[in-house]
Structure 1
Amino acid sequence: MMTTSAQSVTLGAEKPKDTQNEEQKKLMSLYKNVEAVTNIPWYILAAIDQYERNVRHSRNDIPKAEGLIEIYIKPEVWTGPLNPNKEDKNPTSIGLFGGIGEDGDGDDLADPNNDMDVLYSFAHYLESYGTDLENLKIGLWDYYQRDKSVGLILGHMKLYKKYGHLKLDKHAFPVPLNHNYSYKNTWGDARGWGGRRIHEGTDIFANYGVPVRATCFGVIEMKGWNKFGGWRIGIRDIDNTYHYFAHLNGFADGLAVGQVVEPGQLIGSVGSSGYGPPGTSGKFPPHLHYGLYKDNGRTEWSFDPYPHLRAWERADRNR
């Protein structure tokens, strides 16, 4: 995996809460309006838009969105691959050239910078495959040509469907504050076991059995053994960020891949597992290795979790 500094990566929105709430209300209205005319559930539209929003904010090769909807449709896909006019906004000529751009708000223009047009066009593209989940998955794969992208969108969809709203940016510190623990910034330090590599996370030292909690609303993407991380679990949140918990002593009962978890939910306990075959333990002091990884639609890289841990620790203490 690639690595990067924490300065270029943030988790969740930085806008004032009032602004966030107003934007979320407008977004939900857009999703529900398009659901009504296309039969594509709002939570699928929200999941696609959120995935694309995260991708846009992680890359420099995609233009900044001019509206609230951040689904980016390339000009040649919007207007049609053989359309000589890549700025065409005429729904009729776009259709003749096989573009997916359509008029969603009734102004006789298919404008790639119009929120309703973009959302309706993508929903109508998906609707052409069918409205059941399996056919929608086929439509998503045909569009993105990447299994990972489809998986992330389906995870976001699961979260939105379960909770029924868009505000899923709450976080929690991974161990309860009433236990003894200590940590410092160890991201990027050298590691030698298993070959030369860097430390892609922050180590939180605590006693065996100290509870380990989910740090976000998310979906369990991975659970099991790894020779480096021992018993470990990975959770993907609504920002395309992967939260990695390693060296666990064990898992909470009933956890399974694909399950939705919430901030503060028990997922395991601190241990010293790893650095060998399944069951290896005790090769280092008990601690939680906590890592963060970001997906940008093409690749995934590690970034420093330490500033976020400090912020979540303060927030938990204030609560």
Structure 2
Amino acid sequence: MQLYKKTEAATGIPWHYIAAVDQYERNVRLSRKDLPDPDGAISIYFSPEQWAGAANPNHEDKHPVSISFFGGAGIDGNGNRKASRFEGEDALQAFANHVLKYGTDNENFRIALWEYYHRDKAVGIIMGFAKVFNEFGRIDLEGNAFPVPYRSNHSYKNTWGDARGWGGRRMHEGTDIFAGYGVPVRATSYGIVEMKGWNRFGGWRIGIRDLNNNYHYYAHMSGFAKDINVGDVVEPGKLIGGVGSSGYGPPGTSGKFPPHLHYGMYKDNGFTEWAFDPFPHLRKWERLEKKAKQR
């Protein structure tokens, strides 16, 4: 946070924008094959060609003067007379310089992100992160909640990978939590609502992106909370709707199966997104919530 605030003071770029970019990079860095662990502070990524300059014969160049000569993004941000893409302050200042070519307001920051990533989804995710950080005014946003109240009458088992036949053969990408109609459904993490509405498979459903770049998919709901909309920031335990049996047809279809919440989780690595088994997370969150209630 000190580095983000320092950059804001020096450049006028709101700290939550810089924090959002760094958070996105931290989440997708496993897909960066040529980047070892940074110095522990900042994870913003530059490829060797970006940093040193495409025409530079030495893509690991750390000399600010020669990097500048070849049009590279690298800069000495910490005053040690070296420009290293592996040093957080250097990478942070280099990215700030990129943003300043366009502007520090919301729309120009979006343009700067597009020119850097050339991926609409990356731009949307980062702007969502920025909104969450700005809403709470801090970056230490951790903690989770079980998607239905701990004391509600519910049951679930690991149904990941089970066959599903409606609409064509497909596998079950989530965990079904069975409960009565209208049992409250809650956000499991800090995040932002990316999707809300009808899906012929999932019925009334909501999608929430958390700060670890996980997309949480809540489906077959009976309806939505009145104050929940796309773009809203949520925190663990926030009411988002109720358990239902909607789906498997056009809008309004309901009752083709027992009421339950389909809960899925998807991961984005900066290039593609895939589903993973949420069952271990659900068990952990339920256990932690039970322990907290017993205190």
TM-score (normalizing by structure 2):
0.97
CA contact (8 A) 2:67 2:73 kept: yes
Pairwise CA distance, 1:104: 0.7
Alignment RMSD: 1.0
Pairwise CA distance, 1:254: 2.0
Pairwise CA distance, 1:260: 0.4
| 2:209 counterpart of 1:231 | no
Match of 2:70 in 1: 97
Match of 1:128 in 2: 101
| 2:104 counterpart of 1:161 | no
Match of 1:67 in 2: 39
The 5-angstrom pairing of residues 271-286 of structure 1 reads: 271-286=244-259
Q: Which moved more, 1:125-134 or 1:304-313?
A: 125-134
CA contact (8 A) 1:56 1:62 kept: no
The 5-angstrom pairing of residues 75-114 of structure 1 reads: 75-114=48-87
Q: Deviation per CA, 1:79-131, whole angstroms, max 9, x where unpaired?
A: 11111111111212211211111111122211112111111111111111111
Structure with the bigger RCO (C-alpha within 8 Å, sep 6+) is 1
Look up the SS of the partner of 2:78 in the other structure: coil
The 1-side partners of 2:36 and 2:200 are apart by 41
TM-score (normalizing by structure 1):
0.89
Q: Which amino acid in structure 2 is aligned with residue 147 of structure 1?
A: D
The 5-angstrom pairing of residues 10-29 of structure 1 reads: 28-29=1-2
1:217 corresponds, among 190, 199, 218, to 190
| 2:266 counterpart of 1:293 | yes
Match of 2:149 in 1: 176
Match of 1:23 in 2: none
2:10 corresponds, among 34, 37, 49, to 37
Pairwise CA distance, 1:212: 0.4
Q: Percent identity?
A: 63
CA 1:60–1:109: 2 relative to 1, 3 Å:
closer
The 2-side partners of 1:60 and 1:149 are apart by 15
CA 1:264–1:276: 2 relative to 1, 3 Å:
same
Pairwise CA distance, 1:60: 6.2
Q: Which amino acid in structure 1 is aligned with residue 206 of structure 2?
A: I
Q: Which amino acid in structure 2 is aligned with residue 38 of structure 1?
A: T
CA contact (8 A) 1:56 1:64 kept: no
CA contact (8 A) 2:44 2:88 kept: no
The 2-side partners of 1:64 and 1:207 are apart by 49
Pairwise CA distance, 1:233: 0.3
The 2-side partners of 1:236 and 1:60 are apart by 21
Look up the SS of the partner of 2:287 in the other structure: helix
Structure 1 segments of 4 or more deviating over 6 A?
none
Match of 2:243 in 1: 270
Match of 2:225 in 1: 252
Pairwise CA distance, 1:259: 0.5
1:312 corresponds, among 270, 285, 288, to 285
Question: 5+ residue gaps in structure 2?
Answer: none
Q: Which amino acid in structure 2 is aligned with residue 259 of structure 1?
A: D
Match of 1:46 in 2: 19
Look up the SS of the partner of 2:271 in the other structure: coil
The 1-side partners of 2:205 and 2:109 are apart by 32
Look up the SS of the partner of 1:236 in the other structure: strand
Size of the aligned set, in residue pairs, is: 291
Look up the SS of the partner of 2:266 in the other structure: strand
Look up the SS of the partner of 2:133 in the other structure: helix
Question: 5+ residue gaps in structure 1?
Answer: 1-27
The 2-side partners of 1:79 and 1:198 are apart by 46
CA contact (8 A) 1:241 1:295 kept: yes
Look up the SS of the partner of 1:281 in the other structure: coil
Pairwise CA distance, 1:66: 2.5
The 1-side partners of 2:61 and 2:141 are apart by 37
Q: Which amino acid in structure 1 is aligned with residue 205 of structure 2?
A: R
Q: Deviation per CA, 1:269-309, whole angstroms, max 9, x where unpaired?
A: 00000000000000000000000000000000000000000
